[in-house]
Structure 1
Amino acid sequence: MRPTLREPYPVRVPAVLAGLAGAGAWLAGFGTLAADLAGYAWWTLGAGAAAWLAALALLRHGDRGVAAGIAVALAIGWSSTAVALGVTWVQTGTWPLW
């Protein structure tokens, strides 16, 4: 008989969704503090860095499902911000962050 190996802390869908919702609300909350696109980008970058540190702590000492949800939310938030910056840059000809 072969041994059955089980993950000690399996990643569950509700935990991933909780991390996704929490990080999404976190990014949206900080995004509302901005008055323009440049401010939004800086707030999103700072809030995302803090959330990333929380995800690393959860990955090591907590629920890896929540950490995965945070990572997905950051990927969506940061990439959509990058797209908005790129579109503005193409339309105006000036880099919006400086």
Structure 2
Amino acid sequence: MADRRGSWPAALPPPPGYLPPRNAPQPSPQFAAMPPRPTYREPHPVTAAPFLTGLAATTAWFVLFGSLGSSLASYAWWTIGAALAAWAVALLLAVLGDRGVAVGVAVASGLALSIALLFVTLRWVATYDWPLW
């Protein structure tokens, strides 16, 4: 391997915002030679209010669709259809809208679908007959 002759090219300057502003307090002398650590922030944080809004709206959605069923099978099918629609809305909200509401919709729809399929499973175990056919 050959040694490099001559000087190395200078490093590129850091990107904008990497260095602290001029009026920032100076670090202690022990860490003065180290560059400051960058600060990363979430551009669209998920907060409690949109999450609870999505949770409440989806709960009302599943109560309305669940009340359309007159038997366990119809209740389960209405819940499955409502869950598919809710997941499509959650996907659309996650891409184009508020991610907090999307998380609330996804959590509520997963919980509602789990409850409906728990009842289906309990009936199946008790009667050895699959109730959705």
Distance apart, 1:2 and its partner CA: 2.6
Letter in 1 for 2:99: R
Question: 2:53 corresponds to which residue?
Answer: 18
- Verify the 8 A CA contact 2:65 2:82 in the aligned structure 1: yes
What is the distance in 1 between the residues matched to 2:83 and 2:117? 13
Q: Computing the radius of gyration over CA atoms, which structure comes out larger, 1 or 2? A: 2
Distance apart, 1:53 and its partner CA: 0.5
Does 1:95 pair with 2:130?
yes
Question: 1:56 corresponds to which residue?
Answer: 91
Helix, strand or coil at the partner of 1:9: coil
Letter in 2 for 1:42: W
TM-score between both structures, scaled by the size of structure 1: 0.95
- Verify the 8 A CA contact 2:94 2:102 in the aligned structure 1: yes
Helix, strand or coil at the partner of 1:58: helix
Q: Deviations over 1:6-28 (max 9, x none)?
A: 11110001111111111111011
5+ long unaligned stretches in structure 1: none
How high is the sequence identity, in percent, across the aligned residues?
51
Question: 2:43 corresponds to which residue?
Answer: 8
- Verify the 8 A CA contact 2:83 2:110 in the aligned structure 1: no
Moved over 6 A (4+): none
More helix as a share of residues: 1
Q: 2:115 aligns with which of 53, 74, 80?
A: 80
Question: 1:45 corresponds to which residue?
Answer: 80
Identify the structure with bigger relative contact order (alpha carbons < 8 Å, sequence gap 6+): 1
Distance apart, 1:78 and its partner CA: 0.7
TM-score between both structures, scaled by the size of structure 2: 0.71
